[in-house]
Homo-oligomer: A and B are copies of this chain.
Amino acid sequence: MTELRKDPIVGRWVIISTERGRRPQDFPREKAVRQEGFCPLCPGSERMTPPEIMVYPNPHPGGDGGWTLRVVPNKFPALRIEGDLGKAGEGIYDKMNGIGAHEVVIETERHDLDIFDLPEERVADVLRAYRERTVDLMNDERFKSVLIFKNQGAAAGASLAHSHSQVIALPIVPKRVMEELTGCQDYMRFRDRCLFCDIIVQEMEQKDRIVEESGEFLAYCPYAPRFPFETWIVPKRHQCSYEMIEEDQIRSLGAIFRRTLRKLNMALENPPFNYIVHSAPFRSGTTDFYHWHIEIMPKLTKVAGFEWGSGFYINPTPPEESARFLRELPG
């Protein structure tokens, strides 16, 4: 079905479908977002998804039997949950079975709302669901890390219009996560402090890259962003992994996350975007040097392939300018 294969040059694991016999024409050029007509994520279509893993019932009067959030297995998973890892070599190459979890978080029962249209407490529900799923998945000893992310809009990779995000549990640590860990660990060795904690101090002093600030969180445009209007949200208190988030922080994050997404949506006029929760791998003992955060990347430009291939980014917008613009919006 699928296989995890490791690039021997840069050490990057990728998921490869091993399904044979398809022709190049079978790959759609542009994924269409199904905006109209039947939606498999809407209330009434519950049987169109695999049985749900988690549900938040609708607490409102008249909402009996309904829900406001569901988590279901992805109907077309990139990885499957059953089986063993089957780690093996193939000459100089390394591979393992495509074992993992691939879940869909249906963020609202409303087909017509985006995540940032929801009230704060519902955005907090989405963040709560991320934590609950992470805590559950980390019990599986085969999994080393979890990726929580959202693709919003066809150009950002979404194939369904109904507001949703995805949770992928992996038997490996993705390369980008490893790089962050290494960078933060090097900094800790050099200065005996958490790099993100130092970034927070400097950003709060410099102020010119801050988008929003609350008691618990900072939303800012990073110093060396890859993309125009790239914005990160980071907890002010030191925490290495997302599942350590506490209930008061979830409520606080719901508010600042919603405001930040609303501002981006307003500034960029409904842009496609992705966000990704960056968190320490499971059971990695990285408590002191890593610091979880969320990276939000609006997808404004199309200059993809070169940056992909080279790891080299040209960003036409200084983050100080993005931040100033976002800061001045009402949210």
A residues lining the B interface (CB < 8 Å): 5-25, 27-31, 78, 90-93, 147, 149, 151, 154-157, 170, 174-177, 179-180, 183-184, 187, 195-196, 198-199, 202, 205-206, 222-226, 228-229, 267-269, 271-274, 276, 295, 297, 299-321, 325
How often does this chain occur in the complex, in copies? Answer: 2
A95 to chain B, nearest CB (A): 8
Please name 10 pairs of A and B residues whose Cβ atoms are closer than 8 Å in the assembled complex, sorted by A.
A5-B224, A8-B224, A15-B314, A16-B318, A18-B318, A19-B318, A20-B321, A151-B305, A170-B312, A274-B305
Determine the distance from Cα of A313 to Cα of B311 in the docked complex, in whole angstroms: 14
Q: Are B305 and A30 in contact (CB under 8 A)?
A: no
Determine the distance from Cα of A20 to Cα of B309 in the docked complex, in whole angstroms: 29
Q: Are A311 and B174 in contact (CB under 8 A)?
A: yes
Give every chain B residue within 8 A of A184 (Cβ-Cβ).
Answer: 9
Q: Are B312 and A187 in contact (CB under 8 A)?
A: no
Q: What residue in chain B is nearest A313 (Cβ atoms)? A: B14
A215 to chain B, nearest CB (A): 24
Give every chain B residue within 8 A of A93 (Cβ-Cβ).
Answer: 202, 223-224
Determine the distance from Cα of A180 to Cα of B304 in the docked complex, in whole angstroms: 20
A307 to chain B, nearest CB (A): 8
Q: What residue in chain B is nearest A145 (Cβ atoms)? A: B312
Q: Are A310 and B176 in contact (CB under 8 A)?
A: yes
Q: Decide yes or no: A10 and B176 within 8 Å by CB, A156-B304, A304-B156, A305-B273 being known contacts.
A: yes
Give every chain B residue within 8 A of A11 (Cβ-Cβ).
Answer: 179, 183
Q: Decide yes or no: A12 and B311 within 8 Å by CB, A27-B317, A318-B17 being known contacts.
A: yes
Q: Decide yes or no: A225 and B14 within 8 Å by CB, A174-B310, A179-B311, A309-B176 being known contacts.
A: yes
Determine the distance from Cα of A105 to Cα of B19 in the docked complex, in whole angstroms: 40
Determine the distance from Cα of A93 to Cα of B315 in the docked complex, in whole angstroms: 17
Q: Decide yes or no: A276 and B309 within 8 Å by CB, A302-B30, A302-B154 being known contacts.
A: yes
Q: Are B306 and A15 in contact (CB under 8 A)?
A: no
A298 to chain B, nearest CB (A): 9
12 new A-B contacts, CB < 8 A, other than A18-B318, A92-B198, A297-B309, are A10-B183, A14-B226, A14-B313, A16-B224, A19-B318, A24-B267, A24-B269, A147-B312, A155-B304, A156-B302, A175-B312, A274-B309
